[in-house]
Amino acid sequence: MKTELKRRDFVAKCLKAGAAGCALFYGNSIFAQEAGKKIQKQDLKGLTYCGFKCNNECTLYKATIENSLELRKKAYEEFKWKQKFNIDFDAEKVFCYGCKPADKPLSINVKACTVRKCATGKGYDCCIECKELTACDKELWKNFPKFKERVIEAQKNFFGA
């Protein structure tokens, strides 16, 4: 039984087959280049001073963006603001737009961040630029050693080591 293809269907199938072939042939090399891509100076501007990219994984950032009282309370407890800053819960004070907001206020925790103070003091966009990162013993790194390991890996990528 012979089926007849219309010209439009034939061209569409050829294009799909060609695109699939190119993806199979070139795909691995393209993805490998992306994985090993060196971090550029301009890429650091999109990160926080500690090398994080603010997103909804952070309870405090999410609470701020969603303007959620429940999440602000959770973040207040999670980030131990009473112990660290000796303030009682105040929804107006519990917020964070990150440490590099162009047109937003800095939160209490950002103003107190020793990593931010160090990076800005040295004129860095991110501590990834600092050659002393591996020996750095700031509170953030003590509290989140796995995060520090990831930042050190990003630093190796940045310097091409």
Question: What 8-state DSSP symbol labels residue 89?
Answer: -
* Parent domain of 139: 41-159
The answer to whether position 56 is within a domain reads: yes
* pTM > 0.75: no
Pair of tokens at residue 30: 């393209």
Structural domain contains residue 85? yes
Per the structure, the count of domains in the chain is 1
Q: Which tokens sit at 59?
A: 């309870």
Residues 4 and 144: their CA atoms lie apart, in Å, by 64
| Residue 29: inside a domain | no
Helix (H, G, I), strand (E, B) or coil at 134: helix
Number of Cα atoms under 13 Å in the Cβ half of residue 47: 21
- Residue 92 falls inside a structural domain: yes
Q: What is the pLDDT along the chain (161 residues), one digit of tens a residue?
A: 555 657 666 545 544 444 444 433 333 333 333 334 566 766 888 899 999 988 888 999 999 999 999 999 999 999 999 999 999 999 999 999 999 998 999 999 999 999 999 999 999 999 999 999 999 999 999 988 999 999 999 999 888 86
Residue 79 resides in a domain: yes
CA atoms of 61 and 110, how far apart (whole Å): 12
Count the Cβ atoms, other than its own, within 10 Å of residue 128: 24
